[in-house]
Amino acid sequence: MSVQFGKWNFDGKPVEDLEKVRLSLVPYGPDQSGFYCKANIGIVFGGFATTKESRHEKQPLLTRSGVVIVWDGRLDNRDDLIRRLRGLAASNLTDVELVGIAYDWWGDECFGLLVGDWALSVWDPRTRSLLLAKDPIGTRHLYYALEKHRVAWSTVLDPLVADAVRPFSLCEEYVAGWLSFFPAAHLTPYAGINAVPPACVVRIRENHHAVSKYWDFDPQKRVRYRTDHEYEEHFRAVFGEAVRRRLRSDSPVLAELSGGMDSSSVVCMADLLLASGEAETSRLDTVSCYDDSEPNWNERPYFAKVEEKRGRTGFHIDVSGQEGFSFEPTTERFVATPGSLSGNKDETSQRFAAWIAEQGNRVVLSGTGGDEVTGGVPTPDLELQDLLARGHFRTLAHQLKCWALSKRKPWFHLFFEAARAFFPPSVVGVPRYLQPGWWLTAGFRRRNRAALRGYETRLKLFGPLPTFQQNIWTLDGLRRQLACDVLPTDPLREKRYPYLDRDLLEFLYAVPREQLVRPGERRSLMRRALAGIVPNEILHRRRKAYVARSPLAAIAQKSEGMIKLSRCMILDSLQIVNESAFRDALQAAINGRDISIVQLMRTLGIEMWLRNLRTWGGIGEVERAHRGNPKAHAVVAEQY
C-alpha cells in the first residue's frame, strides 16, 4: 500500500508546498518517500511495504520512454504478465517496474491486464497528458480535483481539501447516498473533488478530460460442467488462488475471524495453503470480536471451532463494554468524510494496536463480499428470473414447485416476487427498505431519488441474464462500500478481500445460479466444495442474521445527547432535513416505535460531520450559498 499526491498547473506556474504535503502523507506511507518535480508538475510518493518486492520500490518511477508512474497496489498475475512481455521483464522486478514495462509496451491497454488491487497515475510528458486509473473492484482510493488552471490528485482527501483556492460545495448526491446505503463510487462529499471510478481511466489534458471504462465482466461468459464434482473442484481452485494471492506478504498476515462462513473459510483455506508451502507469508494470525451481552450474537463457539482446528488461539476483543455510538461532534481534528468519524481510542483498541505492532502484521484479510457473491441469501428470485427471461417455462414450473415446497409459500407468490423486478417502481411500488426517512424534505427526496434508493434499477428482460445484471448491481454496492472505507492509521495496515478477487468473481458470475443456491440450501457450491476444509459446525450453521441491541441501547441511553444534536441542525438550514420531523422520529425511536435505526443514525452522523466542517472550514457560509443554489452548499473556505 502506498499514497501519492500530485499537482499539474496548466498555466505553467511551478508547483509549491510539496514538502508540506509529504509530511501530511507520512502517517500513511512511512517506509519510503519520493519526489518528481519538473516545471509545472510535482508528484509526492509515500510507501508502506507489504511484500518483499515493495521493499525495493523507488517511486515515482521513470520508465525508459520517459513516462512517470506512481503505483499503489499488489500485482497478482506477475508470472502471466512476464510471459506476455516475451523476455522484456525479469522475475525479480518490483510490481511497479513490471507495470512500467507493460505501459511502455501496450500503453493504457495494459490496464485490463493488471490483475490485483491497485490504483495508479501516469504522467506522459510527450503528450502532456495525465492518466488516473483503478482496478475493476475499487479497493484503493484515488481522488482528483480538476479546475480551470490546474489538476491535483491524491490517495487521501485531506491534501486536496487543504489545497483548495476557493470554497468547495457540498455534494448533495453524496449525502443522499450516505443516508441510504452508500454514495456512488465516483463521488466525494465535495462537488469539486471526484474519485476515480473502479475499472475506469480518467484522461486529463490541459483543455480536456474524459472518463472511460477499460474493462468489464463479460455477460456472455459461461462455465458449464456435467457434474457437481467438477464445479466444486473449480471453486476450490479459484477460491484457493484468491486467498493465496492475498497471502503474498513478507510479514505475518492477520485475518478477521468472526465465526461466520466467510471469514472462517478464508482462514481454513489459508491454513491449507500454508501447510502445503504455497503461501508466501510465514504465519497467519487471527482476531475475533465477541459480545456475550448480545443474545443473538454468540460467535465465540464458532470461531473457537476454527481455532481448535488450526491449533492456535487468536486475539479476542470483548466489544460488550465499548461505546459504539457517540453523539458529541469531533472537533480536535479535521474529518474529511462522514466515515472518518468512527474510531474508538479506548483501552481495548489500544491493546489491539499494540498487539498488531508486536506481531508485525501489516496485512489484514477480510471476509467482506462473501455473503453477497456466493449465494448467501436463500432466494429463488434470480434463478426464476433467468428461466422467465429465456422462456424456459417447463423448467420454471418445476422449479416453482420445488421452491414453493422448500419456502412453504404458494408458487404464485414466488412467481410474483420474481417477476416484479422487471417492472418499474411506479407499477409495483418501492420496497420498505428502500424508502427514505420521512424526515427528509420533499425537495431533497425528489432531487436525489436514485441515490436514496441505492441506485437500484429494474431488470431488463432482454440482454444479459437477470442473474448477471443482479451480480453487477450487487458488486456496485460493494464498490460503494469500499469507496467509503477510511485508510486505517492506528495501526497502519492494508486490507485485502479474497472474495472480491477478479478471477473468482468471473467464475461465480459464469456458473448456473442453481449451483450457488438450491431449494433449502444456500451457498450450496461453497458448502460442498469446502467440506473437510472448514469445520462442519461452520458450514452448516444457520445464517448469521440478527438484530443487535446496541443501537437500541444507545438510543435509550444517549437520548439526551441525540435530542441536543437535533436542535439548530445544519441539515435543516440546507433544506435536507426537516428538523421538527426528525426530532419526532427520534422521539418515536426513544419510545420504542418501529423506525429505521440505520437511517436515523446516519442522519446524526452527517450532522456531526457537518459541524466538524464548520469548525475547521467555512461552513458558516452555508445558508447564504444555499439560498442561491439549493444543490450547492459552500463548506470549506480556508486551509486548515
Q: According to the model, what pLDDT value does residue 436 have?
A: 85
Q: According to the model, what pLDDT value does residue 330 have?
A: 64
- What torsion, rounded to 10 degrees, do the Cα atoms 73, 77, 82, 84 define? -120
Print burial letters for 520-529: b (CB count within 10 Å at least 16), e (below 16). eebbbbbbbb
How far apart CA 437 and CA 357 sit, in angstroms, is 42
Beta pairing, strands 363-365 & 494-496: parallel
The answer to whether 318 touches 346, Cβ cutoff 8 Å, is: no
What is the mean predicted confidence (pLDDT) over 88-105? 93
- Looking at the predicted structure, is the pLDDT value of residue 316 above 80? yes
pLDDT tens across 585-620, in order? 888 888 877 777 888 888 988 998 998 888 876 443
How far apart CA 596 and CA 589 sit, in angstroms, is 9
Contacts 24+ apart (CB under 8 A), 348-351: 348/317, 348/318, 348/319, 348/321, 348/322, 349/490
pLDDT tens across 496-528, in order? 999 999 999 999 999 999 999 999 889 999 999
Dihedral angle sign, alpha carbons of residues 158, 162, 165, 171? positive
Q: What is the pTM of this model?
A: 0.92
- What the block records as the C-alpha cell of 176 is 443522499
- The total number of residues shown for the chain amounts to 640
Amino acid at 547: V
The dihedral region occupied by 199, where left means phi > 0, alpha psi between -120 and 50, and beta the remainder, is left
What is the mean predicted confidence (pLDDT) over 57-83? 96
Q: According to the model, what pLDDT value does residue 112 have?
A: 96
More confident site: 592 or 345: 592
Confidence of residue 324 (pLDDT cuts 50, 70, 90): low
Q: According to the model, what pLDDT value does residue 619 have?
A: 42
- Looking at the predicted structure, is the pLDDT value of residue 351 above 60? yes
- Looking at the predicted structure, is the pLDDT value of residue 131 above 70? yes
Dihedral angle sign, alpha carbons of residues 415, 418, 420, 423? negative
Q: According to the model, what pLDDT value does residue 523 have?
A: 93
Burial class, 70, CB count within 10 angstroms (exposed 0-12 / middle 13-18 / buried 19+): buried
pLDDT tens across 376-390, in order? 888 899 999 999 999
pLDDT tens across 149-191, in order? 999 999 999 999 887 767 778 999 999 999 988 999 999 999 9
Structural element, H or E, at residue 348:
helix 347-359
State what percent of residues in the chain have pLDDT above 70.
90
Mean pLDDT of all residues belonging to the chain: 88
What is the mean predicted confidence (pLDDT) over 27-56? 94
- Looking at the predicted structure, is the pLDDT value of residue 634 above 80? no
What distance, in Å, lies between the first and last C-alpha atoms of the chain? 26
- Looking at the predicted structure, is the pLDDT value of residue 308 above 60? yes
What is the mean predicted confidence (pLDDT) over 252-267? 95
pLDDT tens across 183-197, in order? 999 999 999 899 999
More confident site: 569 or 632: 569
| Cis ω before 60 (30° cut-off from 0) | yes
